Structure 1
C-alpha cells in the first residue's frame, strides 16, 4: 500500500532532494518506513541531536546552494530543530524542516508530545503548514519548497503520525485539480532599469575615495567584483560571510570588517566618500561610514534590505553578478588611485603584523599560531567551517582564502556549536573535498557527539579544537564591553583527543608550536576523521583592528573592579604591543 509518507518522499524526490538529516522518533516512524523503502534514491543521515540536523541542513545549503532538508519527530524533536533553523533564516539559506505530530484526532487534547509545531514554527518559517491527508501532500510540499528557495529562508511541514500511514487513495476536494502544482521554480532574475543603473554609475564616477562592501551575495560574482574594484580603484572590504568572495592575498582587498576585521578595512570605511554595498546586510552599523559621509549604492536581491544598514542613494535589486555585469560598462576607469594605494600600504603593514603574531613560538601557544599554520595544509578547494567565539576572530584574520575555497560561519545568529554540524553537511555533499572544522572548546563540546556521525559515514573531516578551558568571547565581552570582571566562563577541561578516539576517530593533542606542523601533517594525511586538540593561551585577547576609547575604558574598569588575572592580562597585552613595535 502506498501511504501519505510515500507521497511525501516521492514529491521530495521530484524536487531533486537526495539528502535528509534526521534523528528518528515514533512521531515520524511512517516517514522512516518510506525512507527505508526508498533508501536507494535518498540518503538518510542519522545525527545524534536534532539541532545538529538543522545546522547540518543549513551548512549543506550554504555550501551547495541547494535546498537543505531536516526531519525530526513530534514535540521535543521539533523543538530541538529551532536553533539551526533560525541560523538558516538569519543567513538567508533555503531549508525545509519536516516534523511529526501526535495523532490527528488527539491534537489539542494535552496528549503526549502534543506540541503545536506549526504554530511554534510560525516565526522561523516563512511557510508552516500541517498536512491534512493524502490529497494535501503534493500541494504543500510544492508550496513549502518554492517558498524556501525563492525567499532563501525556512519552510516547515508537520504531519500527524497516523496520517503518515494513511492510504494514498484519499479523495480530492472538488476544488483541488490533480497535478495543478509543479515541481519547478524559476528565479525571476530581476534587473534594475537603465535609468537606475545610469544614476548609480554617475555616483560612482563622481567619487574619489570609493570602497566596496562585498558580502555573501557576491560569492558567485568574484570576477565582476574584482573588475569593478580595479576600474574604480576601490578596496574590497569583506564581511565575515563574504570571506570567500576574493582570495585574501588579492591586492584589491583589505580583508574583513568589524570586531574581527582588519584596521585597513575599518579605515577604508571611515574615510571613503562613496560606498558600494553589494550582497551584504552586515549587521554592525557602527562600522559603516557615518550617515552623510558617503554616497551609497546598494545591490541586493531583496528589496526590503535596501537602506537597511546605511542610507542608500540608489538601490539596485537583483543578483549581484547580473547587476554588476549591467553596471560595469557604465563606470569609468579611475586614474587617481591614491585612496586604493594608501589602503594597500596599510594592508601590507597589517599583513606583516599578522605574520608576526602568527609566527610566535611562545608556550602556552597563541591561538593565531595554531590557526595560521593550517594554511600550509589547505587544498585550493577546501571547505572551512568555523564555529562561533574567539575562534571566529582568529579564523577570519589568519585563514587565507585561495582558489575555490569555501568558508562559512554562523553569521547573523552567531550561534555556538555550528562548526561541527556544518562540516557534516559539507562532508555529505562533497565527500571528495577537504573539509576542515575550526572550533573553540566551548562550542565544540556542545554537539561533539556528532564525531560519531562523522565516523559512521566515514567522512574525513579534520577538526581543530582551540582549547583554553574558557568561554573566551564571553570573557572579553564582560571585560571590554561591560567593564566587569569575568564570571561564569571557566570550563571543566575535556580531553578532546581521547574523546575522538573513543568515538572511533583519530585524536592528537599539541601544546608546543614546535610540534604543531608535524601534528597537522599527520592529521591531514590520515584518511578518516581527526580531532587535533590545540592547547592555547587563555590570556590572548581577540583585540579589534582598531580599539576604541570606550573599549579601553571598560577594560580598565574591569581591572580596577577585581579581574582575578588582571596582572597576567596586562602583562600579555603589554608584551604584545612591545613585540609589534620592535
Structure 2
C-alpha cells in the first residue's frame, strides 16, 4: 500500500510526542483519517460530537500537561466550529495545533461546496497559519507549526486540500528548483532561556527591598513555581494575590495568600491593591487594570516570559523577561529578609474574617439550595489531587471562593476569553491525559446544554469524569450584569419545562442524579465520585443568589437599586436572598 502524505503528517506529529488528536471526521479530511488509521498504534484519535469541543479538549490538554494539544476538523463548517476553542487557547497562551481539511486544489476559487478558505479565516487566531499545496512541504511545515505554537504559546494551523492528503508522501509534482531538505530525524524544540539578566534582577531587588507594603500578584505563568513564590513571599513579608487561572499557584490555606482578585476575588485582595506601595507581578499579565494599583500609587516589578507583554499592562518600573520559577530562584539571594512589621499580619487577619464570611454562606439549611453549599460539598469530598474544571458565569464565582487549593489540586477555566461550555471538554481531555486522577467538571446548566453530547463522548471512551451542574435555569451572570447596569432582567431565564440533565447521563450509560433538596447533595456527590464511570449530578440551586464582588462600589450598589425600582420581576426573592446572605455573614 502506497504511503500517503497524511502519513507523513501523523508520523511527524508522533515524533514531536503527540499521542492524541481530538476531532470529528468529515469528507474534507478522509485522507487524514486514513493516515491516523494507519498509525493508530502511535497516535490515538478521540472522536467527539462537536468540533468546538475538540478545540476545547486540545486547549484543556495543553493547559494541564504543558504539551501541545491537537484538534482536527473537516473543511468548511467543521473548521469554523473550531474557532471558539482556538481563541480560548490564543488568549490564555497555550500551544495548540489545529489541522483542517480543504477542497481539492483544482477547484479552489470556484465557489465549490463548503469552500471556506480557512487559512484566511484563521489569520487572527493563529501564530502560524499555512495551507499545504505540495506533499514535499511535509514534514518541514509540521515542525514549523509545532515550534511556533510552543515558542509563541499560541495556536498554529495547517490546512490540507483533499488531493494533497492522499498524494504520494514526499512527492514534488512541481519539480521545485529549491532543494527540498528532509528535516532532522528527531525534532528539537529550543526553548528560550528562562534566566533573567543580572542587571534586571538587581534593579528588581532594589525596588522590592525598598517596599514597606509589598504585594505579590501571581498568575498561570507561575503554576510551576509554588515553592519559589512562597519563599519570596516569606522574604518580603508580602501577601500573595492570585489571578483565577493562577489559583493553584499557592494553597488557599497558606498564611501568605489573600485569594483572588477582580469581580470574583476577595475583599482583602482589593484592599491590598489600594494599600500596596510595591506590586510584584509574577507570571501574569492580568488584563483588568482597574483592579490594580492606580498609576503612581505603587512601583511595579514584573516577571514575564513574553518580551512583547512585559510592562504593557500598567506603568512598570522594572519589567523582567524570564521564566517565573527560574527568575524567582535567581532573585531570592538578592532579597533582604524583613522582620515582622504588621503588614502581612494585617492581611492575615482580614483574610481570616473573609474565610469566616465564606464559610457562613456554605449553609446546608438554606432553601432553595445555596450554590456556595454545593461547591463546598465538592470541595470537602474531592481528592487532594483532584482537577476541577469550570465554565464561565456565576459558577466561576462559587468555584473561585469555595474550591480550596490544597495538596496537588488544580483548577482550570477559560481565563481571558471567558467563554461558556469548555468545562466538560476540558475535563474529558484532562481525564484522558491523567487517567488515575479524579477530574470534576463544575458547570452551569447554560454551558452544559451547549455541548452536552460530550458526556456521551466520555462514556464511549470510558472516561470516568464527574460533572456537577449548578442548575439555576438561567444565564445567571448576565442577569446580575443587567442589574448592575441598572436594567430590569430580560431574556436570561429559560422558563419551563426545566431541564433534568440526570436523565441524559443515565441514557448515556453513566450515573445520573437529580437533587432538589439540600439534604440530598452530600449523598449524590459522594455516589458520583465513587462511581467507576462517568457520573453527573444535576442540582437545582437558588436562581436569585447574587455573585457579589468582594468589595461593592457605590456605583454598583446604586445601579443595583435602580434596577429594583425599574420593576425587577424577582425583587422579592432577590432581596430575601441578599438579606439571608447578610445574616449568615454576621454569624450563625
8 Å contact 1:455–1:505 — kept in the other structure?
A: yes
In the TM superposition, residue 32 of structure 1 has moved relative to its aligned partner by 0.5
User: 1:577 — aligned with what?
Assistant: 582
Match of 2:462 in 1: 458
**Equivalent residue, structure 2, for 1:62:** 63
Higher mean alpha-carbon deviation, 180-189 vs 270-279, is at 180-189
Correspondence for 1:179 = 182
Among candidates 465, 482, 486, match of residue 483 of structure 1: 486
Q: Spell out, residue by residue over 1:210-251, the C-alpha distance to the aligned partner (whole angstroms, 9 max, x if none).
A: 000000000000000000001100001000000000111111
User: For residues 422 and 515 of structure 1, what CA distance do their matches in structure 2 show?
Assistant: 27
2:76 is the counterpart of 1:75: yes
DSSP-derived class of the 2:408 partner? coil
In structure 2, the gaps of 5 or more residues are none
Q: Structure 1 residue 266: deviation in Å?
A: 0.9
Distance 1:401 1:581 in 2: 26
1:356-367 correspondence to structure 2 within 5 Å: 356-367=360-371
Q: What SS class does the counterpart of residue 308 from structure 2 fall into?
A: helix
In 2, the alpha carbon distance for the partners of 1:164 and 1:302 equals 35
TM-score (norm 1): 0.98
CA distance in 2, matches of 1:388, 1:169: 45
Secondary structure of the 1:186 match is coil
The aligned counterpart of 2:11 is 10
Q: Could you tell me whether the CA contact under 8 Å between 1:363 and 1:511 is conserved in 2?
A: no
Distance 1:277 1:29 in 2: 47
CA distance in 2, matches of 1:294, 1:450: 47
Taking the aligned partners of 1:135 and 1:580, their CA distance within structure 2 comes to: 67
Return the offset for 1:191: 2.4
| C-alpha displacement of 1:31 | 0.6
1:308–1:360 CA distance, 2 compared to 1 (3 A): farther
| Alignment of 1:101 onto 2:102 | yes
- SS of residue in 2 equivalent to 1:401: coil
* 2:502 paired residue number: 497
- Which residue number corresponds to residue 136 of structure 1? 137
CA RMSD, 1 decimal: 1.1
Question: Which deviates further from its counterpart, 462-471 or 165-174?
Answer: 165-174
In the aligned structure 1, how far is the partner of 2:445 from the partner of 2:24? 25
* Kept after mapping to 2: 8 A contact 1:118/1:158: yes
Q: What's 2:46 paired with?
A: 45
Alignment of 1:229 with 2:233, yes or no, is yes
Q: What per-residue deviation string (whole Å, max 9, x for no partner) do you get for residues 91-118 of structure 1? A: 0010000000011111111000110001
Q: 1:242-257 to 2 correspondence within 5 Å? A: 242-257=246-261
Moved more, 29-38 or 505-514: 505-514
- 1:371 matched to 2:372? The reply is no
Question: Match of 1:114, SS?
Answer: coil
SS at match of 1:240: coil
Distance 1:517 1:567 in 2: 29
Q: Deviations over 1:323-363 (max 9, x none)?
A: 11111100111114311100000000000111111124112
Choose 352-361 or 295-304, whichever is displaced more. 352-361
C-alpha distance in structure 2 between counterparts of 1:14 and 1:318, whole Å: 28
Instruction: Map 1:501-520 onto structure 2 (within 5 A).
Output: 501-520=506-525
- Is structure 2 residue 412 aligned with structure 1 residue 408? yes
After TM superposition, give the deviation of residue 509 of structure 1 in Å: 1.3
Secondary structure in 1 aligned to 2:411? strand
Note if 1:306 corresponds to 2:307: no
What is the CA–CA distance in structure 1 between the aligned matches of 2:344 and 2:423, rounded to whole Å?
A: 35
Aligned residues: 581
Q: Which runs of 4+ in 1 moved over 6 A?
A: none
Relative to structure 1, the CA distance from residue 347 to residue 113 in structure 2 (aligned partners, 3 Å threshold; closer, same or farther) is same
User: SS in structure 2 opposite 1:242?
Assistant: coil
Q: In the TM superposition, what whole-angstrom CA distance separates every residue of 1:265-308 from its partner, at most 9, and x where no partner exists?
A: 11111101010000111211110011111111000001121222
Any stretches of 5+ residues in structure 1 without a counterpart? none
Give me the whole-angstrom Cα distance separating, in 2, the residues matched to 1:234 and 1:554. Answer: 35
Provide the secondary structure at the position in 2 that maps to 1:297.
strand
CA distance in 1 between counterparts of 2:111 and 2:398 reads 49
Does the CA contact (< 8 Å) of 2:139 and 2:183 recur in 1? no
Distance 2:403 2:196 in 1: 36
Secondary structure at the counterpart of residue 433 of structure 1:
coil
Name the structure 1 match of 2:328.
324
> Which of 236, 239, 242 is the equivalent residue of 1:238?
242
SS for the counterpart of 1:304 is coil
Q: What's the CA shift for 1:174?
A: 3.4
In 2, Cα distance between the equivalents of 1:17 and 1:301?
Answer: 24
Mean Cα deviation higher: 38-47 or 186-195: 186-195
> Over residues 9-28 of structure 1, what are the superposed CA-to-partner deviations in whole Å (9 max), with x where a residue is unaligned?
11111111110000000000
Give the corresponding residue for 2:531.
526
Q: Kindly indicate whether residue 286 of structure 2 is the aligned counterpart of residue 285 of structure 1.
A: no
Task: Report the TM-score, using the length of structure 2 for normalisation.
Answer: 0.97
Question: 1:47 deviation in Å?
Answer: 0.3
Contact 2:61 2:433 (C-alpha < 8 Å) held by counterparts: yes
Q: Distance in 1 between matches of 2:103 and 2:356?
A: 60
Q: Report the Cα distance in structure 2 between the residues aligned to 1:265 and 1:5, rounded to whole angstroms.
A: 52
Partner of 1:119: 120
Mean Cα deviation higher: 176-185 or 32-41: 176-185
> C-alpha separation between the residues in 2 aligned to 1:100 and 1:575?
55
Residue 337 of structure 2 is matched in structure 1 by 333
